[in-house]
Amino acid sequence: MATWPGTQDHQALFRMATSLANELLRIDERLIHLNDTTHRQHQEFAGRAHSLGVYLRAAVRQALEDDYAPAFASLRVALEHMLLDQLIFNGQRLIQTARGVDDKTWTEWQRQRTAGEGFTSVIEWTRYAKKSTVEIITEGLRSTPDDDGTTYLLSPYYFLLQQYKPFFGPASAQHEFDDGIGEVDEFRRLAKEYEQYYLTYLSWSSIKRNLRLNGFADETTTGRIDVHYRFLSAFVHPTTNTNEISYGRNNRNIPRYDHYSSELALLYTIVIAVEELRHFHEMSQRPPLVGLDDWDDLAALCDTAWSLTSHLWWPGQPPHAWDRFQEANKRRFRALRDSPTTPLPGPSPDAIPEHEIRYYRDPMQRLVRLHSSFQEIMTRLAYQSPWPRTDAQFR
């Protein structure tokens, strides 16, 4: 079998992606249970990290076969998996919804909370009178006090995931599953409850909202994550010409090696793995504590991986010189539209503050352009690619 060209084109990325996926697959081997006490959630968290490693390993293998659409589909699952794990590992706040709360009940709830008679775990709540609905932000669940009376918070998402039944089906279909023992009306009630679990906590919009609620992301960050979610989702839902995205125009003899798709698949694999490992370590530092063998070495590997993938401009990474070039061009184009007779003003790309540089829309298109040096005729600004490729202009 011929050597995959990506092992040469992306030697460092390929090695790092493989290494990090393997680290997730054996993360349970690093657990050091303290005081001869094993906590079940640590084993289950390691199991989730292992599961993510399976998806990432599959994405790398699919890229090795030049099957980029399935690789990106696996990475779409991995992205959502990683973000949900962040909530399961470290989430401390939860949004709950109470329906049918009339004025009298709402007044009594407020009185009880003020008097300290109830709702002591409520951090914030809002009532929407038209729908008689109250949204309640609460802290996570507290453990049973130990011998010293000490308790710790458990992520509420850990329990929600155990309660949710993805195969239960909608309420309207429950008569199809009548087993002659249970009551169909009870099945319908449970179906509505599971549907509400999903809509409130597990849907994509809810995951983003709960990331913000827990302080893991702000609007800018979730907006940028959305860019990657939309791109990867194109390979899950058959509404796009994924062959053209994966192999470029005039694609023949598919599957075949593509420099850009292979690079992007490896970049995604690495950043998702790094995020998961860092979230897992953060979890290990929260009560109940658990040790991680040789974490310093693994942390150094993650830092190296983060630097290696910085040109992706994943949330938390700096914009690339290309993004500064693009922002400066956009500003000069806008100035020219607003005042056609005025000489082109605007700061140089390097002078633009990082927080003012706008994000990109298409990860694949951007990655291709990163590999092509270019001078804009109208603005006279130039970009010099660190990795110029002659095929970039035809991709």
For 343-377, what is each residue's pLDDT tens digit?
A: 666 789 999 999 999 999 999 999 999 999 999 99
3-state class of 154 per DSSP? strand
In a domain, 101, yes or no: yes
Residue 76 sits in the same domain as residue 224 = yes
Residue 170 sits in the same domain as residue 306 = no
Regarding beta strands 122-128 and 133-139, do their DSSP bridges make them parallel or antiparallel, or are they unpaired? antiparallel
In a domain, 211, yes or no: no
pLDDT tens per residue, range 172-199: 999 999 999 999 999 999 999 999 889 8
Residue 298 sits in the same domain as residue 326 = no
Residue 271 sits in the same domain as residue 193 = no
In a domain, 285, yes or no: yes
Closest by CA position to 273, among listed 27, 8, 91: 27
Residue 340 pLDDT greater than 80, yes or no: no
Residue 1 pLDDT greater than 60, yes or no: no
Mean pLDDT across 239-256: 88
Tell me the residue ranges of DSSP E strands in the chain: 31-32, 93-98, 122-128, 133-139, 141-142, 153-154, 291-292, 374-375, 382-383
In a domain, 99, yes or no: yes
Residue 159 sits in the same domain as residue 190 = yes
Residue 252 sits in the same domain as residue 235 = yes
- Mean pLDDT, the chain, integer: 93
Mean pLDDT across 91-105: 90
Residue 269: pLDDT band with limits 50, 70, 90: very high
Residue 99 sits in the same domain as residue 20 = no
Closest by CA position to 314, among listed 89, 75, 100, 69: 75
Q: Which residues contact 34 (CB under 8 A, 6 or more apart)?
A: 288, 289, 290, 291
In a domain, 209, yes or no: no
Give residue 343's pLDDT.
65
Residue 85 sits in the same domain as residue 108 = no
- b/e map 57-74, b = 16+ CB within 10 Å: bbbbebbbebbbbbbbbb
Residue 81 sits in the same domain as residue 220 = yes
The last residue of one of the domains, among 277, 312, 347, is 312
Give residue 345's pLDDT.
66
pLDDT tens per residue, range 293-326: 999 999 999 999 999 999 999 999 999 999 999 9
Give residue 344's pLDDT.
66
Burial (Cβ within 10 Å: 0-12, 13-18, ≥19) of residue 266: buried
Closest by CA position to 88, among listed 282, 219, 251, 332: 282
In a domain, 259, yes or no: yes
Residue 343 sits in the same domain as residue 364 = yes
Residue 170 pLDDT greater than 80, yes or no: yes
Residue 103 sits in the same domain as residue 73 = no
Give percent of the chain above pLDDT 70.
Answer: 99
Task: Name the domain count of the chain.
Answer: 3
Give residue 120's pLDDT.
87
Residue 230 pLDDT greater than 80, yes or no: yes
Residue 35 sits in the same domain as residue 174 = no
In a domain, 31, yes or no: yes
Q: Which structural domain range is residue 250 located in?
A: 6-91+216-312
The last residue of one of the domains, among 203, 236, 257, is 203
Residue 162: pLDDT band with limits 50, 70, 90: confident
In a domain, 364, yes or no: yes
Q: Which of 167-171, 237-241, 329-333, 390-394 has the lowest mean pLDDT?
A: 237-241
The last residue of one of the domains, among 203, 235, 259, is 203
